[in-house]
Amino acid sequence: MVYAPEDCHYCSQSKISTAEIEKYPLLSQEKILAAAERAAQLKAGTFCMVISGRSPSEKVFEQVLGAIRAVKERYPLKICACLGLLTAEQTARLAAAGVDRVNHNLNTSENFHS
């Protein structure tokens, strides 16, 4: 798990968080597909893929793209990606892979930052 360098007081992934949360690496494509299958069985409309940290490394980004393509090939789900800060090129690649919505998760209220 990667922590973000921001100091959002409410976020368990911020640099100041002391929350005791389960930490784990990016799920394998097999586990992502199993979760997508379960979502489809439960008649979910959207399947969201989320990573921790400020933005994905190229390696993680490629793994997520592969998982997105695999989910879109197999299940009638819309895909939401919450991957942190992205470049325009990364956003275009996500769209080409079938992502329907991107949540950049930027929050700017002074109430949540020191």
* Mean pLDDT for the stretch of residues 22-32: 90
Structure confidence by residue, pLDDT tens digits, 56-104: 999 999 999 999 999 999 999 999 999 989 999 999 999 999 999 999 8
76 phi/psi in degrees, rounded to 5: -85, 55
Closest CA to 104 of 31, 55, 34, 71: 55
Model pLDDT, residue 1: 56
Domain edges within the chain:
29-112
Q: Which pLDDT score, from 0 to 100, does residue 108 have?
A: 66
Q: Are 55 and 83 in contact (CB under 8 A)?
A: yes
Residues 6 or more apart whose Cβ sits within 8 Å of residue 2: 13, 51, 52, 53, 54
pTM: 0.84
